[in-house]
Amino acid sequence: MSTKAYAAFNAEDPLKPHIIERRALDPKDVFIKIEYCGVCHSDLHTAKSDWGPTNYPAVPGHEIIGRVEAVGSEVTKFKAGEIVGVGCMVESCKHCHSCNQGLEQYCENGFTGTYNSTKSKYGGVTYGGYSENIVVEEDFVLHIPDNLPLENVAPLLCAGITTWSPLSHWNIRKGDKVGIIGLGGLGHMGVKFAKAMGAHVVMITTSESKGADAMNLGADEVLISKDPEQMKKHAYSFDFLLNTIPVAHDVNPYLLLLKLDKTMCMVGAIEPLPGVHGGVLINKRRNIAGSLIGGIKETQEMLDFCGKYGIVSEVEVIPMKDINEAYIRMQKSDVKYRFVIDMKTL
Amino acid sequence: MSTKAYAAFNAEDPLKPHIIERRALDPKDVFIKIEYCGVCHSDLHTAKSDWGPTNYPAVPGHEIIGRVEAVGSEVTKFKAGEIVGVGCMVESCKHCHSCNQGLEQYCENGFTGTYNSTKSKYGGVTYGGYSENIVVEEDFVLHIPDNLPLENVAPLLCAGITTWSPLSHWNIRKGDKVGIIGLGGLGHMGVKFAKAMGAHVVMITTSESKGADAMNLGADEVLISKDPEQMKKHAYSFDFLLNTIPVAHDVNPYLLLLKLDKTMCMVGAIEPLPGVHGGVLINKRRNIAGSLIGGIKETQEMLDFCGKYGIVSEVEVIPMKDINEAYIRMQKSDVKYRFVIDMKTL
């Protein structure tokens, strides 16, 4: 079916209106009219071929909220009219060890990304959420709680689950001292989730003003990481650190904050980290780990949790035509904390 | 009491005969006549002030086997005539969270090293095992199984426990695929322990001949790390990696060998590791950790295990006068796999 979308055609050009084709409904497919789509750093990286050659034209967007318009004959979980979500994945092998555990993000045969993937069993390249509509297998569609503003829910599908998954995996609970490093799209969700899980939440940032913002979002304390005295005072005191800084940086000052046997989990910096010090790991049996988005089952659990505790992302809603300006502002971290496109404006 | 020892007097000079003082026995002290002392890389680093200024004269040696000659009035665990061991620590605070768990190596107030430490509550600087005798609190003295050759037991007190502790902490068991990276004093013990714990042991080395040696020590398989084809074949297949390489190196090729959620533990490289790749951690929720020697309780467990399974270190016994030549050979990795000084030759 021919559908309007916004696409990148090469690494330099801005996104432009375009017509794409969506597949006809398979028996297990859900046809979704998109209402809102969050703007993730990955969208820009893909538009610009930052992560290897992009398959152009590329339609970004993997924080998708929409309404079911039609379902295939074998769909059991969704009905027309229902509000649903789609995140970073639209297919996986469903039979490997990871998929069997509900960890499709670590599919041993590689999941199919919501956009720019050539791995789909339906052929072609996947097109994302900067689009009128999308067709997705029901196993990769999420139920959305009915008590939350939809534009604020969209970023939960990537920024939300990316921070929820490690906090849940490392079993954060009441009384834990948890540091969230960096306050952006990911970090602000980390603060909200860790707080709701009962942790004592410390915002770790270079910026006094971001510290103040984090306190407004629910943080219990601020640690200014460029102040060696403050860093020393908090040394060896954290149960978990969620590091959302999106670029390479010296992680050793943060590692020194961890107690014996505790972990710092990286979710932002997908690049080489300079000089992780073996001695800092060895001296207190500390760990550095990474975590990638989250599985479908835990994404649903996160959404249900958000419904129960009234947690959403802080967003700035934009019309489709402002996307290129939003990209420029996003690169300067000039957004609190996520742009969301209102798809009525396409 | 005046005692013969071998000491370093500055960072350049070779070790020389010397007279040191040992304290008079406190009620909880054990007086040990030293029979064998292993030669650890740390000894050389200390003799040369590689790790910050050494307190000269420095008497190295923390892989100590000897016979109890006398005990203080309140000693209950040891008797004169018994063969005992002393490792890397001789005191700790005994009341912090780590000490309370039997993890004196992570004592929050800092343990007292067997040599070159000024933290002893008895004052002065601690002198190690290149010496006729030593006085140690009974809580830091180990029982030695009576069925093992003593010269081969000495290195268990540092090289042994340093590899045992992480294999035990990460719960290695039957069927696990475990990689031991590097074959030296640490690595050869890692092979023996992982094998005895029931793992499928893969020696990971750049050298074909070290691979063959590892097979003789009990490894099940050899992976030549400079062969990209072999590395690719083993990608994403290991349950645990014990990295014993003693210097900084690129860890990313090794990290790619780990399965989802699994850990590489560093025990050798106490320096900054170049460019640990965030993406390699993130893509499979992999971990890098470190581990430091081991606690007294687990050191005793290791020694008991060694007695039960007949596990010892491979050693080359030397007279005291050859220590400086041994240091030179050790720096060239020209030893299989640990020098041990016969203290009768002092």
CATH number at residue A85: 3.90.180.10
Do A196 and A125 share a structural domain? no
C-alpha distances out from residue A199 to A31, A175, A179, A254, A268, Å: 39, 5, 9, 18, 21
Contacts of B241 (CB under 8 A, 6+ apart): B178, B179, B181, B204, B254, B257, B258, B262, B263, B264, B265
Select from B236, B269, B281 the Cβ nearest to the Cβ of A288: B281
CA nearest neighbour of B179 among B128, B218, B221: B221
Do the domain assignments include residue A128?
yes
Question: Are both A138 and A185 inside the same structural domain?
Answer: no
Q: Which DSSP letter does residue B75 get? A: -
Residue A111 and residue A14 in one domain:
yes
| Alpha carbon distance B248, A243 (integer Å) | 24
**Record: contact B106-A273, CB cut-off 8 A:** no
What span, in angstroms and rounded, lies between the C-alpha atoms of A269 and A266?
A: 7
| Number of domain units in chain B | 2
In a domain, A299, yes or no: no
Burial of A257 (C-beta count, 10 Å sphere; 0-12/13-18/19+): buried
Q: What is the pLDDT of residue B51?
A: 86
Summarised one tens digit per residue, pLDDT across range B294-340 is 999 999 999 999 999 999 999 999 999 999 999 999 999 899 999 99
Express each pLDDT in A246-268 by its tens digit.
999 999 999 999 999 999 999 99
Give the whole-angstrom CA distance, residue B60 versus residue B137.
19
Same domain, B182 and B261: yes
Sign of the C-alpha dihedral computed for residues A177, A178, A182 and A185 taken in this order: negative
pLDDT at B125 over 90: yes
Query: Looking at residue A13, what is its pLDDT?
Result: 86
Please name the residue of chain A whose CA is at the shortest distance from the CA of residue B255.
A289
Using a CB-CB distance cutoff of 8 angstroms, which residues of chain B are in contact with residue A283? Answer: 106, 290, 292
Chain A hits for B262, Cβ within 8 Å: none
Q: Which residues of A touch B276 (CB under 8 A)?
A: 272-273, 276, 288
User: What contacts 24+ positions apart, CB below 8 Å, involve A99-104?
Assistant: A101/A295, A102/A295, A102/A296, A102/A297, A102/A298, A103/A295, A103/B260, A104/A140, A104/A295, A104/A296
Q: Please give the C-alpha separations between residue B212 and each of A245, B179, B206, B243, B329, in angstroms, as whole numbers.
A: 44, 15, 12, 19, 21
User: And the tokens for A218?
Assistant: 């629910």
| Strand ranges (E), chain A | 2-7, 16-21, 29-39, 64-71, 83-86, 89-91, 112-113, 133-137, 142-143, 177-181, 200-205, 221-224, 238-243, 258-266, 272-273, 276-277, 287-290, 315-319, 338-342
Which chain A residue has its CA at the smallest distance from B287's CA? A289
- For chain A, list residues whose CB is within 8 angstroms of any CB belonging to chain B: 97-98, 103, 106, 108, 169, 236, 248, 252, 260, 263, 266-292
How far apart CA B96 and CA A256 sit, in angstroms, is: 18
* pLDDT at B62 (0 to 100): 98
Q: Is the pLDDT of residue B151 over 90?
A: yes
Q: How close does chain B come to A10, measured CA to CA in Å?
A: 25
Question: Quick one: closest CA in A to B275, which residue?
Answer: A272
Contact A204, A223 (CB under 8 A): yes
| Residues of chain B with a CB closer than 8 angstroms to some CB in chain A | 97-98, 103, 106, 108, 169, 236, 248, 252, 260, 263, 266-292
Who among B106, B277, B286 is closest to A284 (CB)?
B106
A304 domain-assigned: no
Residues with Cβ < 8 Å from A234, sequence gap 6 or more? Answer: A202, A223, A257
d(CA A173, CA A196): 9
Q: How many CB pairs under 8 A join A and B?
A: 114
In a domain, B281, yes or no: yes
Å from B126 to nearest chain A CA?
21
One digit per residue, the tens of pLDDT, for chain A of length 346 reads 899 999 999 998 889 999 999 999 999 999 999 999 999 999 999 999 998 899 999 999 999 999 999 999 999 999 999 999 999 999 999 999 999 999 999 999 999 999 999 999 999 999 999 999 999 999 999 999 999 999 999 999 999 999 999 999 999 999 999 999 999 999 999 999 999 999 999 999 999 999 999 999 999 999 999 999 999 999 999 999 999 999 999 999 999 999 999 999 999 999 999 999 999 999 999 999 999 999 999 999 999 999 999 999 999 999 999 999 999 999 998 999 999 999 999 9
Whether residue B84 sits in one domain with residue B48: yes
Query: What integer pLDDT is reported at residue B284 of this predicted model?
Result: 96
CB A58, CB A129: distance < 8 Å:
no
Tell me the per-residue pLDDT of B34-92, one tens digit each, with 9 for 90 and over. Answer: 999 999 999 999 999 998 899 999 999 999 999 999 999 999 999 999 999 999 999 99
Q: Do A278 and B291 touch (CB under 8 A)?
A: no
Instruction: Look at A278 and B273 and tell me if their CB atoms are within 8 Å.
Output: yes
Same domain, A211 and A230: yes
Burial of B126 (0-12, 13-18, 19+ CB in 10 A): buried
Q: How far is A73 from chain B (nearest CA, A)?
A: 35
Whether residue A89 contacts residue A104, with contact meaning beta carbons closer than 8 Å, is answered with yes
CA dihedral B109, B110, B112, B114 (to 10 degrees): 160
- Are B304 and B145 spatial neighbours (Cβ–Cβ below 8 Å)? yes
Indicate whether A82 and A141 sit together in one domain: yes
Across the interface, do A263 and B108 touch by the CB < 8 Å criterion?
no
Q: Which residue of A has its CA nearest to B99?
A: A260
Name the one residue in this structure whose structure tokens are 């500055």: B10
Considering the domain architecture, whether residues A170 and A213 belong to the same structural domain is answered as: yes
pLDDT reported for residue B78: 98
How many Å apart are CA B53 and CA B76, to the nearest integer?
A: 38
Percent of chain B with pLDDT over 70: 100
CB contact under 8 A, B282 and A267: yes
User: SS3 letters for A267-316?
Assistant: CCCCCEECCEEHHHHHHCCCEEEECCCCCHHHHHHHHHHHHHHCCCCCEE
Inter-chain touch A281–B288, beta carbons under 8 Å: yes
Altogether, the residues listed in chain A come to a count of: 346
Among the listed residues A298, A327, A319, the one whose alpha carbon sits nearest the alpha carbon of residue A102: A298
Within-domain flag for A297: no
pLDDT at A51: 86
Question: Which residue range forms the structural domain that includes residue B194?
Answer: 160-290
Same domain, B145 and B169: no
Q: Per the CB < 8 Å rule, is B278 touching A270?
A: yes
Residue A303 lies in a domain: no
Pairing of β A221-224 and β A276-277: unpaired
Same domain (yes/no): A148, A201: no
CA nearest neighbour of A260 among B295, B275, B140: B295
Residue B43 to residue B46: CA distance in whole angstroms:
5
Closest Cβ opposite residue A274 in set B108, B275, B283: B275
- d(CA A266, nearest CA chain B) in Å: 7
Q: Is residue B106 included in any domain, yes or no?
A: yes
Which ipTM score applies to this complex?
0.93
Q: Which residue out of B285, B288, B291, B292 would a mutagenesis test of the A interface target, given it has the greatest number of A Cβ atoms within 10 Å?
A: B285
Say if residues A102 and A296 touch (Cβ distance below 8 Å).
yes
Is B165 in the same domain as B147?
no
In this structure, the number of other CB atoms found within 10 A of the CB of residue A211 comes to 19
Domain with B234 in it: what CATH number? Answer: 3.40.50.720
Nearest to A137 by CA among A111, A103, A161, A100: A111
Write the CA distances from A188 to A41, A164, A279, A313, A342, integer angstroms.
Answer: 15, 11, 31, 8, 21
Asked whether residue A180 falls in the same domain as residue A154, the answer is no
Say how far apart CA A346 and CA A343 lie, in whole Å.
5
- The minimal CB distance from B273 to the residues A271, A275, A292 is found for A275
pLDDT above 70 covers a percentage of chain A that reads 100
3-state secondary structure A19-70: EEECCCCCCCEEEEEEEEEEECHHHHHHHCCCCCCCCCCECCCCCEEEEEEE
Q: Does A220 reside within a domain?
A: yes
The answer to whether residues A116 and A272 touch, using CB atoms and an 8 Å cutoff, is no
CB contact under 8 A, B271 and A283: no
**How distant is the Cα of B50 from the closest Cα of chain A, in angstroms?**
14
Flag if A272 and B277 touch (Cβ within 8 Å). Answer: yes
**From A271, A275, A288, residue closest to B288, measured CB to CB:** A288
pLDDT in tens, A136-181: 999 999 999 999 999 999 999 999 999 999 999 999 999 999 999 9
